[in-house]
Amino acid sequence: MRKVILQMYTSIDGFVAGPNGELDWMFTNIGTESESPADELLNSSDLILLGRGMAKGFLDYWPNDKTEFGEKINTLPKIVFSKTLTSMEYPNVTVASNIEEKIQEEKGKPGKNLILYGGCRLVTSFAKLGLIDEYCLMTVPVILGKGLHLFEGIDMKVLKLVKSKASPSGVIVNHYEKK
Amino acid sequence: MRKVIVSNLVTLDGFFEGPKGELDWFIVEKEFFDYVKEMFKTVDTILFGRKTYQMMEKYWPTADDNDPTITHQMNKLPKIVFSKTLANAEWNNSKIIRDNIAEEIHEMKKLPGKNMVIFGSGEIVSFLTNQGLVDEYRIILNPVILGKGNPMFKNINEKIKLNLINSKNLKSGVMILYYEPEKILN
């Protein structure tokens, strides 16, 4: 069955972005090494899941990226979750409002995995609903001190560490599964 | 020079305790105890903030459900608690420092001896982090999402870049990550 996979960079203190959504700390610290599991995860997926808050920035950014990775992002279908929008004027994008129904429907279809890129609130909703099958969390060696927190307010979850790797730049890439 | 080492269990979402100080999520077993015992060979002082000290002074003197070597070390080693308000520090071998924490730590680092370790004590960890006085962070990453709790780092003034110097995977899914601070970023 298709799995929902979360991919997220976090700081050592558990933030995924600065207080205003800043991601500079991430880009300046992960280097350009081909260490990121992003490519492998994307290759194992054929549907991208996005929250409305970050969707526009994401959808405006990627068409400018002419790398092979960018091409894959641009051609894959995407679902944006929103309670207020009914459509978005971007190629390959559909809008859905009911997370649980939509994910159940998609998981019932044949295909590769569903990759969840954020944002913060959508990921927290997914976690609350128990919809994340695999968590790929990449810990960047930075203390941010303040910022946006993932998983705020969810009930405690104990995960199973299935794979772990330290990259040369000191990023720890951990794959966890639902227990 | 003696190092100040922070050694704390934290969750994937960055908490070192639940909202009311809960530690029931700790995943500790033999490999973790081995790590603590190894560390105790390299330290001669434990540093605390008031809240963690008060919690531990209730637990350790009569602890009978923990590793005996660790229990013995916790009770025996010299302890320093930083507090303006704490009246007495009755736990064996304890001393209160009330003021000039940064200067006191700075002086202690110059003395001969082994390293100093901080357990828990989020406020002291954050204060010393801001002062640039922590030499090593050992983040004991538990495969747990708490959802709510108290962050280990609070009111940090500047972003801090760290260098990963070592990492250990325990069979329980816990990871011990060893970091040294590099420099203050802006």
Q: What is the pLDDT of residues A35-88, one digit of tens each?
A: 568 888 999 999 999 999 999 999 999 999 998 999 999 999 999 999 999 999
CA distance B124 to chain A (A): 14
Instruction: Report how far residue B54's alpha carbon sits from residue B60's, in angstroms, rounded to the nearest whole number.
Output: 11
Instruction: Report how far residue B56's alpha carbon sits from residue B120's, in angstroms, rounded to the nearest whole number.
Output: 10
How many domains would you assign to chain A?
A: 1
- Inter-chain residue contact A151 with B177, CB threshold 8 Å: no
The question of ipTM being above 0.90 is answered as yes
Residues of B in contact with A139 (CB under 8 A): 141, 177
Determine the length of chain B.
186
For residues A65-90, b (16+ Cβ closer than 10 Å) or e, as one string?
eeeeeeebbbeeebbbbbeeeeebeb
Q: How confident is the model at residue A34 (pLDDT cuts 50, 70, 90)?
A: low
Q: What is the DSSP letter of A64?
A: G
In chain B, where are the structural domains located?
A: 4-116+123-145
Residues of B in contact with A142 (CB under 8 A): 159-162, 185
Of B55, B2, B174, B19, residue with least CA distance to A174: B174
Query: What are the pLDDT digits (tens) for A121-169?
Result: 999 999 999 999 999 999 999 999 999 989 999 999 999 999 999 888 8
Domain that holds residue A63: 4-178
- The domain made up of B4-116+123-145 is a member of CATH 3.40.430.10: yes
User: Domain holding A110: CATH number?
Assistant: 3.40.430.10
Nearest CB among B148, B158, B163 relative to A141 is that of B163
CA distance B54 to chain A (A): 25
Mean pLDDT in consecutive groups of 10 residues from the start of chain B, 186 residues: 96 96 96 98 98 97 96 98 96 98 96 97 96 97 97 93 96 98 64
The whole-model pTM stands at 0.93
CA distance A4 to chain B (A): 18
